[in-house]
């Protein structure tokens, strides 16, 4: 079967995608005027070397298309807000430095977009102290990448960082997490927007925006071709050693080789969107349940009334979600424990005697006050 031709993203379509993350011609212009995003002031003045808007640019087709679409949209609407392209050189391949400089030249010489490179220095990183093991390479590279992106954004006054996650990334993430027995939060996939640094609504919060979550990889490449712009291919994205890449390749094959491929891709997308809607509703229910049973909430200690375990409105899935976020936060982890571990924790808490404790993912939970309270605190911390 011949490969179906993908359509490039138009400027009009990009305007619609921007609206998904709460942006428009007006809001992008207001960044330069020092006005608001999500009702809060985001940029006080037109300071030199400040870039309220930035795009993470690896040089691949996805991020290149996003940078080009942003620039096109801003030029078409006379938006003067400075735009910064940030390339992270992971220094895991000999040619990576040359590739980063090539990407920079494309930005500055052809498209007149300010560009900067931040390098991973694995030997100096306090948690790595040398290049990561191959089995952990993707996770370590991602963590370091976002650490550097955060540093650059803070240094340059960035308030919105655009990243080029697309439909393929969304489905890949959903299937990867499904394979690891994730709950609703996992299969809900990647949110269109989140906070990279600070708290939502804070003046110095850095918002992470993903406007192209509905766009296929093929359309990203077609968009680059519309601009007559090449891109960099990272050979590590072809390595079938990694689960995510195997999933990605199967999705790409399904889309172009299977007669029912587009319909199956749409079914997967609908499933992910349904999970995302369920996640939103669960989140509201979680907050209500916590408000009802919470006694103390601070970084190193959360105290809940034990009645939460017998609350008739608190079905097991809801309790597991509440426990998941508390354990992740108190244990200071980037990701929550696995669903099976949380199910085990809930089982143990219902049978735990007063003065006894259980530990999960760096978080201790002890029953106190004659079993009337659940105290969550960091492991190795005396409570």
pLDDT digits (tens, 9 = 90+) for 52-103: 899 999 999 999 999 999 999 999 999 888 899 999 999 999 999 999 999 9
Task: Please indicate, yes or no, whether residues 63 and 193 belong to a single structural domain of this protein.
Answer: yes
Task: Please indicate, yes or no, whether residues 253 and 319 belong to a single structural domain of this protein.
Answer: no
The secondary structure of residue 136, as a DSSP letter, is G
- The rounded mean pLDDT for the chain is 88
pTM of the model: 0.81
CA–CA separation, 195 and 134 (whole Å): 29
CA–CA separation, 211 and 214 (whole Å): 8
pLDDT tens-digit map of 198-235: 766 666 789 999 999 999 999 999 999 999 999 998 88
User: pLDDT band at residue 18, thresholds of 50, 70 and 90?
Assistant: very high
Specify the number of domains making up the chain.
2
Contact present, 367 and 326 (Cβ < 8 Å): no
Task: Please indicate, yes or no, whether residues 304 and 264 belong to a single structural domain of this protein.
Answer: no
Task: Please indicate, yes or no, whether residues 373 and 231 belong to a single structural domain of this protein.
Answer: no
Task: Please indicate, yes or no, whether residues 75 and 166 belong to a single structural domain of this protein.
Answer: yes
Contact present, 217 and 171 (Cβ < 8 Å): no
Contact present, 230 and 184 (Cβ < 8 Å): no
The CATH number that applies at residue 123 is: 3.40.50.620
Contact present, 196 and 146 (Cβ < 8 Å): yes
Most confident of 114-128, 288-302, 363-377: 363-377
Task: Give me 153's structure tokens.
Answer: 């954004």
Task: Give me 322's structure tokens.
Answer: 């509440």
Q: Can you say whether the dihedral through the CA atoms of 299, 295, 283, 175 is positive or negative?
A: positive
pLDDT tens-digit map of 329-346: 899 887 889 889 999 999
CA–CA separation, 152 and 158 (whole Å): 8
Task: Please indicate, yes or no, whether residues 68 and 107 belong to a single structural domain of this protein.
Answer: yes
pLDDT tens-digit map of 173-194: 999 998 887 778 889 999 999 9
The domain in which residue 186 lies consists of 11-272
* Phi/psi at 295 (5° precision): -110, -35
Task: Give me 104's structure tokens.
Answer: 């920079």
Task: Give me 285's structure tokens.
Answer: 């229910």
Closest C-alpha to 339, from 357, 316, 356, 359: 316
262 inside domain: yes
| Stretch 346-361: mean pLDDT | 94
User: pLDDT band at residue 12, thresholds of 50, 70 and 90?
Assistant: very high
| Stretch 19-30: mean pLDDT | 86
pLDDT of amino acid 38: 46
Q: Which of 32-46, 106-120, 310-324, 348-362 has the lowest mean pLDDT?
A: 32-46
Going across the sheet that includes 160-162, the strands are: 114-119, 83-89, 53-56, 160-162, 206-209, 193-197
Task: Please indicate, yes or no, whether residues 25 and 99 belong to a single structural domain of this protein.
Answer: yes
| Stretch 104-123: mean pLDDT | 96
Q: Is the pLDDT of residue 315 over 70?
A: yes
Taking residue 334's Cβ as centre, other Cβ atoms within 10 Å add up to 8
Contact present, 359 and 379 (Cβ < 8 Å): yes
CA–CA separation, 83 and 50 (whole Å): 9
Contact present, 278 and 184 (Cβ < 8 Å): yes
Q: Is the pLDDT of residue 282 over 50?
A: yes
Q: Is the pLDDT of residue 239 over 80?
A: no
Task: Please indicate, yes or no, whether residues 210 and 356 belong to a single structural domain of this protein.
Answer: no
Task: Please indicate, yes or no, whether residues 250 and 333 belong to a single structural domain of this protein.
Answer: no
46 inside domain: yes
5 inside domain: no
278 inside domain: no
Closest C-alpha to 239, from 135, 160, 86, 325: 135
* Phi/psi at 245 (5° precision): -70, -35
pLDDT of amino acid 256: 72
Q: Where is pLDDT greater, at 260 or 223?
A: 223
Task: Give me 31's structure tokens.
Answer: 């960044």
* Phi/psi at 303 (5° precision): -120, 125
Task: Please indicate, yes or no, whether residues 236 and 335 belong to a single structural domain of this protein.
Answer: no
User: pLDDT band at residue 155, thresholds of 50, 70 and 90?
Assistant: very high
279 three-class SS: helix
User: pLDDT band at residue 238, thresholds of 50, 70 and 90?
Assistant: confident
Task: Give me 113's structure tokens.
Answer: 């977009």
Task: Please indicate, yes or no, whether residues 39 and 113 belong to a single structural domain of this protein.
Answer: yes
Task: Please indicate, yes or no, whether residues 352 and 258 belong to a single structural domain of this protein.
Answer: no
Q: Where is pLDDT greater, at 185 or 31?
A: 185
């Amino acid at each position: 079967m011949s490969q179906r031709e993908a359509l490039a993203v138009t400027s009009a379509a990009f305007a619609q995608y921007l609206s998904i993350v709460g942006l428009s011609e007006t809001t992008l212009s207001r960044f330069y005027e020092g006005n608001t995003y999500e009702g809060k002031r985001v940029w006080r003045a037109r300071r030199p070397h400040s870039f309220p808007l930035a795009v993470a640019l690896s040089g691949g087709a996805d991020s290149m298309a996003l940078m080009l679409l942003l620039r096109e949209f801003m030029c078409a609407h006379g938006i003067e807000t400075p735009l910064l392209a940030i390339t992270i050189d992971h220094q895991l391949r000999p040619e990576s430095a040359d590739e980063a400089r090539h990407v920079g030249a494309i930005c500055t010489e052809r498209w007149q977009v300010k560009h900067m490179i931040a390098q991973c220095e694995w030997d100096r990183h306090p948690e790595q102290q040398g290049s990561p093991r191959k089995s952990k390479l993707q996770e370590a590279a991602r963590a370091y990448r976002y650490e550097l992106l955060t540093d650059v954004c803070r240094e340059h006054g960035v308030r919105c960082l655009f990243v080029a996650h697309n439909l393929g990334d969304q489905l890949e993430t959903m299937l990867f997490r499904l394979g690891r027995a994730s709950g609703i939060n996992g299969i809900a996939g990647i949110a269109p927007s989140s906070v990279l640094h600070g708290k939502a609504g804070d003046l110095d919060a850095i918002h992470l925006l993903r406007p192209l979550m509905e766009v296929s990889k093929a359309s990203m490449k077609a968009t680059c071709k519309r601009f007559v712009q090449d891109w960099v291919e990272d050979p590590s994205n072809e390595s079938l050693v990694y689960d995510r890449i195997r999933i990605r390749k199967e999705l790409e094959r399904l889309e172009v080789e299977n007669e029912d491929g587009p319909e199956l891709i749409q079914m997967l997308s609908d499933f992910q969107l349904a999970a995302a809607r369920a996640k939103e509703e669960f989140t509201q229910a979680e907050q209500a349940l916590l408000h009802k049973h919470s006694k103390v909430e601070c970084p190193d200690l959360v105290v809940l009334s034990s009645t939460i375990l017998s609350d008739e409105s608190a079905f097991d899935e809801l309790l597991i979600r509440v426990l998941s976020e508390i354990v992740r936060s108190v244990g200071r982890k980037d990701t929550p424990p696995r669903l099976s571990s949380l199910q085990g924790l809930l089982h143990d808490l219902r049978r735990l005697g007063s003065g006894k404790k259980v530990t999960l993912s760096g978080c201790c939970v002890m029953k106190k006050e004659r079993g009337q309270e659940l105290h969550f605190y960091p492991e190795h911390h005396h409570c």
